């Protein structure tokens, strides 16, 4: 892929979210390109050429497709909403710190990108210890319901908590059917707000396939990942509880939640060590919109 096409494809992908890109953002989000065109100098030169030839527009430090001038103000408004919604992240972190089996928590989705609509909730990826996913989910979802913050299909929270991705620390690799551009961006955009040991690094290493899709962004993310230990004293004490008892409780929680969800499930992918609660085919919708944007500029 040429550098020119890589830039256009990247800008078009972000255009569907009304998200014009600053030069550094565009550089790090570039799709895989020919190795001989990765220099920053060539990138800047190509940007200038695309703007001068009318393929891209540039205003207020941001690049966007022709006809998307209003995206500048839309991005500013969505960033303001996301900042308001992120105020609740500290509450979720505090809650997870006192659940001994949580070893990682990351904000995902639109809020992780510092943009949000009024109706968007807070999406989270939760990483647990091995054989602790379902007992952790029971506790975390249960407390969230009691607090009136849990986002489910049956309610209409505009700032609810949606725990839609669950992984055990021994099963961090995403299956090959998820090796898509949409998922690659989700991996890189995940904002890790709690982790024990090196969960973020382990997650990135387990999904190193992202480097073949967004190489610059992946390398930067790996270099900046760091170890943060947020374990609470209560968690250390509870970890001393009999492991066989917790194993059995986790398996029972898995069976009960599977039974409870069986009639409402659509596209959800639910396993013993991984669970993805995405009822809508977001990947397909985004890919179709991306294709439409590409057709509009060609």
Instruction: List beta partners, residue 128.
Output: 102, 168
Confidence of residue 130 (pLDDT cuts 50, 70, 90): very high
Instruction: List beta partners, residue 276.
Output: 165, 269
Calpha distance 89→192 (Å, rounded):
11
Least trusted range by pLDDT, from 12-21, 218-227, 250-259: 218-227
pLDDT at 75: 93
pTM over 0.75: yes
Question: Which domains does the chain possess?
Answer: 3-69 (1.10.10), 86-281 (no CATH)
Buried b (16+ CB within 10 A) or exposed e, 201-218: bbbbebbebbbebbbbbb
pLDDT at 240 over 70: no
pLDDT at 280: 60
What DSSP character marks residue 254? H
pLDDT per position as a tens digit, 84-120: 888 899 999 999 999 989 999 999 988 888 888 777 7
Listing from the earlier edge strand, what are the strands of the sheet with 102-108? 191-195, 102-108, 122-128, 161-168, 274-276, 269-270
pLDDT at 36: 45
The answer to whether 121 and 155 have CB atoms below 8 angstroms apart is no
Q: Which residue has the tokens 């250390």?
A: 236
The answer to whether 9 and 56 have CB atoms below 8 angstroms apart is no
CB atoms within 10 A of CB 8: 21
CA distances for 82 relative to 95, 113, 138, angstroms:
21, 8, 27
More confident residue, 135 or 196: 135
CA distances for 127 relative to 85, 132, 133, angstroms:
22, 9, 8
Average pLDDT of the chain is 85
Q: Which residue has the tokens 């207020």?
A: 60
pLDDT per position as a tens digit, 50-71: 999 999 999 999 999 999 999 9
Confidence of residue 2 (pLDDT cuts 50, 70, 90): confident
Calpha distance 244→248 (Å, rounded):
6
Mean pLDDT for the stretch of residues 186-209: 93
pLDDT at 38 over 80: no
pLDDT at 44: 92
Confidence of residue 33 (pLDDT cuts 50, 70, 90): low
The answer to whether 165 and 125 have CB atoms below 8 angstroms apart is yes
């Amino acid at each position: 892929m040429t550098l020119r096409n890589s830039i256009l494809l990247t800008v078009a992908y972000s255009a569907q979210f009304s998200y014009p890109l600053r030069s550094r953002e565009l550089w790090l989000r570039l799709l895989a390109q020919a190795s001989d065109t990765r220099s920053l100098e060539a990138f800047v030169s190509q940007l200038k050429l695309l703007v001068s030839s009318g393929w891209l527009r540039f205003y207020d430090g941001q690049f966007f497709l022709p006809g998307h001038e209003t995206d500048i103000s839309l991005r500013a408004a969505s960033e303001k909403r996301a900042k308001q919604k992120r105020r609740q992240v500290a509450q979720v972190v505090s809650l997870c710190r006192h659940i001994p089996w949580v070893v990682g928590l990351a904000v995902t989705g639109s809020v992780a990108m510092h943009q949000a609509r009024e109706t968007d909730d807070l999406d989270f990826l939760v990483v647990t210890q091995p054989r602790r996913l379902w007992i952790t989910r029971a506790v975390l979802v249960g407390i969230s319901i009691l607090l009136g913050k849990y986002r489910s299909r049956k309610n209409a929270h505009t700032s609810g908590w949606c725990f839609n991705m669950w992984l055990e620390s021994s099963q961090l690799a995403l299956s090959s059917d998820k090796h898509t551009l949409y998922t690659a961006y989700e991996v890189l955009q995940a904002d890790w707000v709690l982790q024990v040991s090196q969960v973020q690094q382990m997650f990135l290493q387990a999904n190193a396939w992202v480097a073949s899709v967004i190489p610059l962004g992946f390398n930067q993310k790996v270099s900046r990942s760091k170890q943060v230990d947020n374990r609470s004293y209560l968690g250390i004490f509870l970890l001393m509880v009999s492991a066989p008892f917790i194993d059995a409780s986790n398996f029972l929680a898995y069976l009960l939640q599977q039974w409870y969800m069986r009639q409402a499930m659509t596209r959800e992918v639910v396993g013993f060590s991984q669970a993805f609660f995405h009822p809508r085919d977001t990947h397909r919708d985004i890919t179709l919109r991306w294709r439409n944007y590409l057709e509009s500029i060609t």
